[in-house]
């Protein structure tokens, strides 16, 4: 039986709202925090929309929907997270913003056993942990997009995470959320992105070099290998800025050329064509 019943989610973008959705449906008391009332309002609309969609598609019942909504509260004041037993940070991938947030959360949480987790996909969890006074209670919990649909969570203990922290969070993820957990080392890309991102970059290079169109590359992998999505549609779903930042992190850490973000990917990011979230990337979503 998990000892975690009250969680906080900081940041309510695609991943934060997906994580809050999963937790609220699993019966957990969820408090969502965002930096400003405006971003909180957008996050609330995103989370409500995600639960509405699950209801509309018949994945959850009216009762699940109503109970899940009732379990979520919202705040733009971090002090309101004081009673949380686990806080999952899911703000944008900005190391100094995350470090500042971790330092503040470390002071706000009343329970010395409370766990501070990051959903980062491209930063070192240890560097975030070093912003706190108790590095042993900091851990990475890496969900996949869309979080309600994908069963896996990577659990990323740092060299300094207490084993009791890892065990407590692992029990919560498996017993309460019903996720499948793998432990990954705190190295760039963890396990999934160290495999996935070079593949996505290879697909970008095929388009960039004129080897094949985006549609042909995607058909190759959906029809030839039975992947649920081709790599370029998947890159658009993940967000091209996120793919580029994971590639940068992998390249910085390992210096292998196949990790370097191709120029075409950088240009798309510079143009603000980030994929589904902005309405255009390799494909048009307008």
Is-catalytic flag, 145? no
Stretch that binds ligand CAA, among 69-77, 145-153, 213-221, 267-275 (CB under 6 A): 145-153
How many CA atoms are closer than 13 Å to the CA of 282, on its beta-carbon side?
Answer: 30
Least distance CB 77 / ligand CAA (angstroms): 29
Helix (H) or strand (E) holding 135: none
Residue from 181, 242, 250, 268 binding ligand CAA (CB under 6 A): 242
Question: Between 246 and 285, how does the x/- string for binding to ligand CAA read (CB under 6 A)?
Answer: ----------------------------------------
Is 121 among the catalytic positions? yes
Q: Which of 150, 160, 212, 220 binds ligand CAA (CB under 6 A)?
A: 150
Question: β-pairing, 138-143 with 6-10?
Answer: unpaired
H-helix segments, the chain: 14-25, 37-56, 62-70, 95-108, 125-129, 163-171, 192-208, 214-225, 231-238, 240-254, 263-270
Catalytic residue among 2, 50, 119, 121: 121
Rg (CA), the chain: 19
Helix (H) or strand (E) run with residue 138 in it:
strand 138-143
Nearer to ligand CAA, 81 or 201 (CB): 201
Nearest C-alpha neighbor of 139 from the set 154, 117, 113, 110: 117
Nearest distance from C-beta of residue 21 to ligand CAA, angstroms: 7
Peptide bond into 36 cis (omega under 30): no
In the set 90, 184, 193, 245, the catalytic residue is 193
**Pairing relation of β-strands 138-143 and 152-157?**
antiparallel
Nearer to ligand CAA, 58 or 112 (CB): 58
Taking the least distance from each CB to ligand CAA, the nearer of 228 and 257 is 228
What are the catalytic residues?
Answer: 121, 142, 154, 193
| Interface residue list for ligand CAA (CB under 6 A) | 54, 59, 121, 144-146, 148-150, 193, 196, 228-229, 234, 238, 242
């Amino acid at each position: 039986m998990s000892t975690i019943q009250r969680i906080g989610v900081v940041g309510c973008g695609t991943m934060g709202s997906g994580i809050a959705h999963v937790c609220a449906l699993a019966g957990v008391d969820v408090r969502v925090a965002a930096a400003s009332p405006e971003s909180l309002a957008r996050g609330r609309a995103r989370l409500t929309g995600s639960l509405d969609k699950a209801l509309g598609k018949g994945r959850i019942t009216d009762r699940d929907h109503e109970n899940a909504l009732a379990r979520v509260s919202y705040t733009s004041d971090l002090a309101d997270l004081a009673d949380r037993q686990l806080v999952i940070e899911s703000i944008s991938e900005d190391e100094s913003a995350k470090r500042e947030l971790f330092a503040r959360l470390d002071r706000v949480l009343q329970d010395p056993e409370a766990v501070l987790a990051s959903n980062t996909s491209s930063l070192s969890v240890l560097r975030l942990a070093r912003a706190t006074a108790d590095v042993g209670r900091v851990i990475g919990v890496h969900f996949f997009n869309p979080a309600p649909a994908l069963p896996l969570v990577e659990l990323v203990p740092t060299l300094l995470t207490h084993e009791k922290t890892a065990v407590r969070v692992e029990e919560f993820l498996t017993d309460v959320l019903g996720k499948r957990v793998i432990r990954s080392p705190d190295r760039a890309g963890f396990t999934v992105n160290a495999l996935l991102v070079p593949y996505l970059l290879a697909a970008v290079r095929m388009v960039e070099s004129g080897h094949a169109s985006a549609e042909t590359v995607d058909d190759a992998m959906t029809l030839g290998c039975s992947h649920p999505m081709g790599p370029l549609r998947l890159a658009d779903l993940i967000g091209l800025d996120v793919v580029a930042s994971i590639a940068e992190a992998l390249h910085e850490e390992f210096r292998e050329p196949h990790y370097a973000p191709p120029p075409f990917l950088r240009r798309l990011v510079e143009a603000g064509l980030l994929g589904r979230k902005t309405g255009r990337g390799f494909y048009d979503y307008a």
